Structure 1
Amino acid sequence: MEVLYLFEIGDKVVYPMQGAGIIKNIEEKEFSGEKQEYYIIKMLKSNMEIMIPLDRISHSNLRLISDSSTLSSVLFSFQTKDSSNEEILPSKQRYQTNMQKLKSGSLKESAEVFYDLTLINKEKPLNSSEKQMLMNARKFLIDEMTLIKKISENEAEDLLDSSII
Structure 2
Amino acid sequence: MGFKVGQKVVYPNHGIGIIEQIEQKQIGSTVLPFYTLRLASTNSVVLVPVDNAREVGLRSPISAAEGEMLLKNLADDFASPPTDWKDRFKEFSEKMRTGDIFAVAEVLKTLTYLSQFKPLSFREQRMLERARYLVISELSTVCRKPECDIVQRVDEALAAACAKHARRTTRARAAGANAGH
TM-score by length of 1: 0.89
C-alpha displacement of 1:156:
2.1
Aligned counterpart, 2:25: 29
Question: What amino acid is aligned across from residue 87 of structure 2 in structure 1?
Answer: Q
Runs (5+) with no aligned partner, structure 1: none
User: Sequence identity, in percent?
Assistant: 26
Q: How does 1:53-132 map to 2 (within 5 A)?
A: 53-81=49-77, 86-132=80-126
- Contact residue 78 and residue 110 of structure 2 kept, 8 A: no
Residue in structure 2 matching 1:20, options 16, 19, 25: 16
- 3-state SS of paired residue (2:6): coil
Q: Cα RMSD between the aligned structures?
A: 1.6
C-alpha displacement of 1:33:
4.3
Q: Which moved more, 1:97-106 or 1:45-54?
A: 45-54
Q: Whose radius of gyration is greater, 1 or 2?
A: 2
C-alpha displacement of 1:10:
2.1
- Contact residue 14 and residue 41 of structure 2 kept, 8 A: no
Question: What amino acid is aligned across from residue 57 of structure 1 in structure 2?
Answer: A
Aligned counterpart, 1:157: 151
Question: What amino acid is aligned across from residue 12 of structure 2 in structure 1?
Answer: P
- 1:133 and 2:133 are equivalent in the alignment: no
Divergent runs of 4+, >6 A: none
Runs (5+) with no aligned partner, structure 2: 160-181
Structure 2: distance between partners of 1:162 and 1:87: 21
